Structures are given as C-alpha cells and as structure tokens.
Chains A and B, each alone.
Chain A
Amino acid sequence: MSAQRTSESFTRRVLRQPAAKLGIVLTALVLLLAVLGPLAVPAWTGYGTNSFAGKPFQTGVFGTDNLGRDVLSRFLAGGWRLLLYSALATVVGVGLGAVLGMLAALRGGWLDSVIMRCGDVLLAIPQLVFALLAVTVLGPQGWVLVLVIGVTHAPRVARVIRAATAGVVAEDYVLASQMYGVPQWKILGRDVVPNIMGPLMVEVGLRLTYSIGAVASLSFLGLGMQPPTPDWGLMINENRIALSLQPWGVILPVIAIAVLTVGTNLIADAVAGASAGRVRTTGKGTR
C-alpha cells in the first residue's frame, strides 16, 4: 500500500518536469511513426519507379534512392525493427544487470567479487568493438545483435543496481527483517525492489538510448540489418553515396533516430532528476 503511494507520487514528480513531457512527446512521435508507418506504406506506392536518385516531388514525395525505390515508403517501413531490437536488448541488459547487481549486493563475499570482476573485464572492451567481435564470428543476425548489446549493458547496470541495493540492505528495517528470519526472496520483493525502482527506471531509459544508438550504428556500418531490408540505419549507409544529389534518404532517418534518442534521454534525465540525489547518473561506467 505504502509502496504504491510512493511510486504514484514518483511518477507525478517525473511528469512535473518539462523535460519529461518533451521527451515523452518526442519518443511517442517516433514510436507512432515506426509502428503505424509500415501500415501506411501500401498507400504510398513508389516501389520500382526506376529513376536514378529522383528529385523530391518529381518521383514520390521525397524522391527515390539510387535503386529507384521510393524514399518515403522505405522510411515508413524502416523503423520498427530498430525499435524492437533496441527494446529487447534493453530488457536483456537491464534484466541481467539488475539480477546480477542485486545478487552481488545481497550475497556479498566471493560471489560479489566474481560478478564485479567479470563486469570489469567486459567493460574494458568498448561496446561497439565487442559487438563487432561477435558479429564477425556469429554473423549479423537479429538475436546476435540483441544478445551482444544486452550483455555489454549488463555490467554497467549491475554496478548501479549493486550500489543502490547495498544502500537499501544497510537500512535498519532490512537488518531487522533479516534478524527475524524473513526469507531473502521476501526481503528482495518487499524492501529491495520497490526501493531501487528509481535507479532501475533511469537505467532503462539510458540503456534504451544507447541500445538504439548501438543497433542503428551497426546497421549503418552494414553489419546489422542486411539489404534489402528497409531500415533507418541501413538507409543512411545506402543513401550517403548520393548525399549531395538526394539528401532525403539520409536526412529522414537521421532526424527520426535523433528525435528518438533525444526523447528517451530526456525521459531518463527527468527520472534521474525525480529520484534526486539517490542515483548518480554521471558515475563511472554510465556509457
């Protein structure tokens, strides 16, 4: 009961910040575009107009790309995979990191050391480099992208959640419950999880922002989504050759990705602001 009331006021505290409202609006815009876009594609015909790098308003609203494909159609169809993969990578990363972080803080001892040292090793390789290593060996499949980006998020999340959990576990009422012999899983569910929701939500926002960046970057490098899939990252790669002739194939997806990441980052920042002081979003290893 009391936990619910604090979480309600927490949501309200987040929403009171103008940055949160702006972030939600921006994210929702791109979300709608990506989800409803594919449904609108058949209405905007244009596939196979076969004119090289057509100028805007001559062939299709935003012209065609160098293979004669309608830019607007591909743009509308090309967002949902990026969003789906980023969301899944975030779930994997935050889930894995939260479980490991709580485990490390609750159990302590050698398990804590092993988890955190393994995290240090993973943190020594930049996320993108690690992803490239995995893609080299396993190929650019969707599950590889989701898994590898999730796994590289995990140590960063684990650090934050471990610190937050350690703070809760040190509280007197938790010590009291432990002395009464309340089982660990009950303490976890009743005391720890509700009290680390703030940092956890910040991590979800931050990791989502970086997942979008990572998935889009890999596709941009030609190592994520493969042609002829319509995808924003891939579109930028394919159309940048003709950037000075036909910029729309690059500009539309760049704007969409930019609006999306700025939106999710604004939300993460507002959540961090609302759970003020208890979380340090600027600590080592946030990125």
Chain B
Amino acid sequence: MILKRLGISVFVLLAVSLLVFFFTLLLPGDPAQAILGQQATPERLAALREQLDLNAPWYERYLSWLGGLLVGDLGTSAATGGSVNALLASKVSASVVLMAIAAVIAIPVGLLLGTWSAMRRGRAADQGLTGISLVLAALPEFVIGVALTTLLSTTVFRLLPSVTMAAPGTRVWDYPLQLILPTLTLILVVVPYMIRMTRTTMADVLDSGYVEMARLKGLPERQVIFKHALPHAIGPVAQVIAMQLAWLAGGIVVVEFLFRYPGLGQAMVDAVNTRDVQVVQALSMIIAAFYVIVNLLADVVGILANPKLRTESRS
C-alpha cells in the first residue's frame, strides 16, 4: 500500500518534470544568445551552444536535465551564466525558516480552533469563527499582507518594519521583527482553511455511532474526544495539513515579493522578470517535489492511522 503510493509519487514527479521541460521548447529565441547578449561572436555562440547541449535533440536535453536534477545539479542560469545552485543556495534556508515558523504556529492553532468550533456547533462562537474564516479564505495573500502592512506598519500603527532589509552576510533570522509580518500573513492565509476542514472532519466524527456509544457508556468528555474521536480524524486531518503546507509553498511567492523577503519566492519573481527559464524551471521542480513529498507523507500517516488500510498493507 505504502510502496504503491511511493510509486505513484515518483510517476507524478517524472510527469511534472516532463511538463516543466516542455515549456522551454515553447520559448522563442536562443538561450545562448540570451546569455551572451547581442554582441556575441558566432564562434562563442557556437561554443556555448555546444557547452549547453543546445544542438542535441530535445529528449537528450531532457534526460541530461533530469539526470542533473537527480544528482542535485539544477543547471545554468540563462540570465547570469552562473549555476542555479549557487543562486538559490542562500535563499532556500530563508524560505524554509519562513514556512517553518508559519507552519509551527498555524497547524496547532488551526486544528484547535477547528475542533473547538466542531464541539460548539451552531453556537455563537462557532458561527463567528466560521464567518471570519469564510471572509479570510476569500482574500488573496497580497490583500491580507497589504492590509496587515497598513494596519501595523505604515498607516494606523507604526510598530513593525514593512520590508525585509538584511545587511549582506547576515541571515534573515538575525532580525526577528522583520519576520513577523510575512509569517503572520502566511498564517492568516492557511489557518482559515484548516479551521474549516478540521471542523467538517471533527463534526462528522462527533456525529458518528462510536462516539455516541462512548458517550452513552458514560465516559468523560475528554476521553471521548482524545481516545475515540481524534484517532479517526487523524487521516483526514493529515490531508488538510498537507494541503495547506503545499499551499504555503505557492504562497511564499507573493508574500516574499510583498515584503521583499530574500527567499525562493522572490527569486522566482526576479527570474520571471528576466525570463530566466532555467531558474523558473528549477524552482517549479523544487516546489512540486515539496508538494508531492508532503502529500505522500500525509497519505502514509493516513494509512498508518487507519487499522483497515494498515493490515491491508501488511498482507
């Protein structure tokens, strides 16, 4: 069961790489020309084409690109001529920090509020929470970010820095104050979904026969929730968390751009502006790989949490 899931993930990633590579074939113009500029001599162009394998047919170029990806070589940037690895190395950690802080805060908050909302279904607290999350869920990331900036940084209160400004050689986490607005934006983007979906899942579980049975046996409510209801909700809830983590990977693009945060998302926007296809491809693959791995983990958790599927995998 788990092995089958793993196989599907590998297949999906391969197909994604083919799709991402396909986009380079649509690109008008010559990458070698783009790197060397208009004044390049024909000899140098030919040499670079040879070096970049541009004369090879597309499937050979795809295979060598894919081979490079598998050993961690992301290719050569068309805009700067340097390696993509060097370009992205310092930015990976910055983005990981941002996403990790957002996830560590958002996951427990979302799950707790969702469960709480499900337990008080129909009451004022539940309706208020549902309304707020419905509104927040509708807003694009940059709207939430800009609203927070005007509220906390530039216009109403002037408490926090609105852009990230790190001196060369320093790390993003050397300035904790600058991290607050980007992480807060990401948290407000994912928490509403977690609340809504956890609420739906928990409401289903709390309505089920075995929870009623546990209550009728006279078990204390805490035991009903944690011993009888929660284990059944783990699988679906893991899916919810995975989906929101995957959403974070896309959300960092807008949020990093908004706060000028020096991470992968900002690098992506810069690369699109300079039409640096190699970098955009590499980033798309990184983000897709993250998405596929997170979903795989969620499915594995779901399989392990479900006794029926667990025994199926053993046999």
Distance A145 CA – B154 CA, assembled complex (angstroms)? 32
Pair B16/A136 contact, Cβ less than 8 Å: no
Q: How many A-B residue pairs have CB under 8 A?
A: 147
Pair B142/A220 contact, Cβ less than 8 Å: yes
Q: Which chain B residues numbered 269 to 302 have a C-beta less than 8 Å away from chain A?
A: 269, 271-273, 275-277, 280-281, 283-284, 287-288, 291-292
Which of B37-45, B89-97, B133-141, B222-230 has 4 or more CB atoms under 8 Å from chain A?
A: B133-141
How many chain A residues touch the partner (CB < 8 A)? 50
Pair B288/A125 contact, Cβ less than 8 Å: yes
Pair B20/A254 contact, Cβ less than 8 Å: no
Pair B12/A287 contact, Cβ less than 8 Å: no
Pair B142/A236 contact, Cβ less than 8 Å: yes
Pair A243/B154 contact, Cβ less than 8 Å: yes
Mark each residue of chain B from 142 to 160: 1 if its CB lies under 8 Å from any CB of chain A, else 0.
1100110110001100100
| Choice from B13, B155, B247 contacting A244 with Cβ under 8 Å | B155
Which of B23-31, B101-109, B209-217 has 4 or more CB atoms under 8 Å from chain A?
A: B23-31
Pair B155/A257 contact, Cβ less than 8 Å: no
Contacts A129-B250, A250-B146, A261-B139; A287 near B193 (Cβ below 8 A)? yes
How many chain B residues touch the partner (CB < 8 A)? 58
Q: Is A126's beta carbon under 8 Å from chain B?
A: yes
Q: Is A176's beta carbon under 8 Å from chain B?
A: no
Return the chain B residue nearest A126 by Cβ: B250
Residues of B within 8 A of A243 (CB): 149-150, 154-155, 162
Question: Which residues on B are within 8 Å of A, measured CB to CB?
Answer: 8, 12-13, 15-16, 19-20, 23-24, 26-27, 134-135, 137-143, 146-147, 149-150, 154-155, 158, 162, 193, 196-197, 200, 239, 243, 246-247, 249-250, 253-254, 257-258, 268-269, 271-273, 275-277, 280-281, 283-284, 287-288, 291-292
Question: Which residues on A are within 8 Å of B, measured CB to CB?
Answer: 19, 117, 120-122, 124-130, 132-138, 209, 212-214, 216-217, 220-223, 236, 240, 243-244, 247, 250-251, 254, 257-258, 261-262, 264-266, 269, 280, 282, 284-285, 287
